[in-house]
C-alpha cells in the first residue's frame, strides 16, 4: 500500500475537505491527505499548476467537479467564470506537474467531463471518448465517476479501470427520513424516459419491488433547439391506477428541467398525490423559476440531489430543494482503493444504506 495523497482544485475544495475528514475518521487518525496545489491563472487566460510537496511513489487521487460554474478568474480586467473545458484543462495541468512520479493515479470525477457527448452521428465530435483517452495517455490508471450518462463510454479506454458509482441509495434514504413516509405501498418509481429505467428498477428493489412506470418521449428529429431534439409528446407506460400514489422520478441530472417537470405534470394529471424528484446532478442550466412555479402549484413536493456537483446556495435555500451529502461514500471508495480492497458493493449502491432502507420496509410490513 502506497501512501495516500489527494489533490483537490478550487472547484471541489469544500467537498474535498469533507472527504479528508471522513478518511481520518475511517482510519482513526489526524493525517492530512490533501496536497497543497496552486492553479495559477494569468490575465490573458493562460495558466499553470504547481504542486507544493513531493508526490513521488504516492497513491495519488485527483478530485474535480468540472460542472462548477462558480469559479472565476480575472480575464483582461473582467471577471470570467470557468467552463468545463477550463476545469478539464486544469486536470491536465495537474497531471503535467505530477510528471509521472506517483505510483498510481486515480481520477475522481463525479460528473464525467463531456459525458453528454458520448456518441457520434455523422460529422460531429466524440468529446467524451477523446477526453478519456487523453487522461489515459497522461497516466491516469483509474477513473471513478457517478451515474454516468452512458457507461458504454468506458469502451473508449479498455485498458483503464472505469468505475461507475450509483448513489441513489443515499438519495432515497434521505428522502425517507425527511418525508417521514411510512406507507411503502403508495410508492411508485418513475423513469422519465426509457434510458433511466435501470435507476427506477434499482429504487423499486430497495423499496420492496414497488410498481415501476416510464414515459416514452416522442421527439421531433427534424429540429434542434438548444442542442436537443424537442419533445412533442410524453406517453406513459405503467399501472392504470395512479390515484393517491407517491411517485419518485429518478434521473441522472436536471439540466434545463423541462423533461422531468413535464413528467411530473403528466403524473399529476393521472392522479398522483405526491411527486419527488431524485437526481445525481442538479445543474439547473435554465434557472429555477419553473421549479418554483411547480412547487407553488403543488405539482412537485421536493427535489433531492447529491452534493457531488456544484449547486448555488440560493437554490439550496429554497423550500423544495434538498442537498444530500455523499462525501462519506466517496471517502470510503478512496480509502478502500488505497488499501487494495474491492469496491464492488460501494459502487453498486448495495451498501449499508440499502440495508437500512430494506429494514424500514420490513418494519412496515410487520406493523
Rg over CA atoms, the chain: 21
In a domain, 103, yes or no: yes
Residues 201, 77 share a domain: no
For the chain, which ranges sit under pLDDT 70?
219-221, 226-234
Residues 200, 115 share a domain: no
∠ CA 264-275-69, nearest 5°, is: 70
Spatial CB neighbours of 126, under 8 Å, sequence gap ≥ 6: 117, 118, 119, 120
pLDDT at 188: 96
Residues 179, 142 share a domain: no
> Rounded distance, CA 17 to CA 34, Å?
8
Residues 221, 157 share a domain: no
Residues 199, 127 share a domain: no
pLDDT at 239: 86
Residues 206, 104 share a domain: no
Residues 204, 149 share a domain: no
CATH of the domain at 293: 3.40.50.2020
In a domain, 38, yes or no: yes
In a domain, 158, yes or no: yes
In a domain, 74, yes or no: yes
Residues 227, 207 share a domain: yes
> Rounded distance, CA 83 to CA 134, Å?
18
CA separation, residue 365 to residues 33, 204, 350, 359, 361 (Å): 45, 16, 21, 10, 6
pLDDT at 119: 86
pLDDT at 210: 93
Q: Cβ–Cβ contacts within 10 Å for residue 123, how many?
A: 5
Residues 95, 173 share a domain: no
Of 139, 165, 191, the residue at which a domain comes to its end is 165
Total tally of structural domains belonging to the chain: 2
In a domain, 330, yes or no: no
Residues 217, 361 share a domain: yes
> Rounded distance, CA 71 to CA 160, Å?
30
Beta bridge partners of 257: none
> Rounded distance, CA 211 to CA 40, Å?
52
In a domain, 305, yes or no: yes
Of 123, 142, 165, the residue at which a domain comes to its end is 165
DSSP class of residue 324 equals E
Q: Record the cell numbers describing residue 64, joined without a space.
A: 474535480
Range of the domain at 218: 168-324+352-365
This prediction's pTM = 0.92
> Rounded distance, CA 308 to CA 127, Å?
22
- Identify which of 207, 176, 175, 171 has the alpha carbon closest to the alpha carbon of residue 189: 207
pLDDT at 227: 65
CA separation, residue 167 to residues 37, 236, 257, 324 (Å): 29, 26, 20, 10
Residues 40, 181 share a domain: no
pLDDT at 321: 98
Of 116, 139, 165, the residue at which a domain comes to its end is 165
In a domain, 280, yes or no: yes
Contact 44, 97 (CB under 8 A): no
Residues 175, 135 share a domain: no
Three-state DSSP class for residue 301: coil
In a domain, 343, yes or no: no
The string of DSSP codes covering 101-150 is -SSEEEEE-SS-TTTT--S--SS---HHHHHHHHHHHTT--EEEEES-S-
The helix-helix angle for 127-137 and 84-98 (nearest 10°) equals: 10
Amino acid at each position: 500500500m502506497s501512501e495516500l495523497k489527494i489533490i483537490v482544485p478550487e472547484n471541489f475544495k469544500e467537498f474535498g475537505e469533507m472527504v479528508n475528514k471522513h478518511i481520518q475518521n475511517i482510519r482513526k487518525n489526524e493525517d492530512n491527505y490533501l496536497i497543497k496545489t496552486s492553479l495559477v491563472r494569468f490575465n490573458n487566460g493562460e495558466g499553470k499548476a504547481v504542486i507544493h510537496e513531493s508526490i513521488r511513489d504516492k497513491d495519488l487521487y485527483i478530485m474535480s467537479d468540472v460542472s462548477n460554474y462558480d469559479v472565476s478568474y480575472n480575464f483582461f480586467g473582467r471577471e470570467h467564470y470557468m467552463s468545463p473545458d477550463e476545469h478539464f484543462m486544469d486536470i491536465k495541468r495537474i497531471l503535467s506537474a505530477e510528471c509521472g512520479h506517483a505510483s498510481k493515479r486515480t481520477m475522481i470525477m463525479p460528473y464525467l467531463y463531456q459525458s453528454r457527448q458520448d456518441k457520434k452521428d455523422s460529422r460531429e465530435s466524440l468529446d467524451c471518448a477523446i477526453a478519456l483517452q487523453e487522461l489515459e495517455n497522461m497516466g491516469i490508471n483509474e477513473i471513478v465517476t457517478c451515474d454516468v450518462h452512458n457507461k458504454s463510454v468506458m469502451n473508449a479506454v479498455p485498458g483503464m479501470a472505469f468505475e461507475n458509482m450509483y448513489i441513489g441509495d443515499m438519495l432515497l434514504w434521505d428522502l425517507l427520513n425527511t418525508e417521514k413516509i411510512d406507507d411503502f405501498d403508495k410508492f411508485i418509481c418513475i423513469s422519465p424516459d426509457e434510458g433511466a429505467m435501470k435507476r427506477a428498477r434499482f429504487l423499486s428493489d430497495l423499496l420492496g419491488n414497488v410498481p415501476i412506470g416510464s414515459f416514452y418521449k416522442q421527439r421531433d428529429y427534424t429540429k434542434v433547439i438548444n442542442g436537443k431534439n424537442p419533445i412533442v409528446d410524453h406517453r406513459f407506460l405503467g399501472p392504470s391506477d395512479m390515484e393517491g400514489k407517491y411517485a419518485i422520478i429518478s434521473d441522472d441530472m436536471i439540466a434545463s428541467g423541462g423533461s422531468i417537470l413535464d413528467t411530473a405534470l403528466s403524473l399529476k394529471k393521472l392522479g398522483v398525490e405526491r411527486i419527488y424528484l431524485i437526481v445525481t446532478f442538479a445543474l439547473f442550466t435554465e434557472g429555477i423559476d419553473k421549479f418554483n412555479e411547480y412547487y407553488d402549484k403543488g405539482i412537485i413536493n421536493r427535489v433531492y440531489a447529491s452534493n457531488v456537483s456544484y449547486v448555488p446556495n440560493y437554490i439550496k435555500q429554497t423550500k423544495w430543494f434538498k442537498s444530500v451529502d455523499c462525501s462519506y461514500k466517496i471517502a470510503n471508495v478512496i480509502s478502500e482503493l488505497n488499501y487494495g480492497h474491492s469496491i464492488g458493493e460501494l459502487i453498486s449502491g448495495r451498501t449499508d444504506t440499502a440495508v437500512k432502507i430494506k429494514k424500514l420496509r420490513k418494519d412496515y410490513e410487520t406493523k
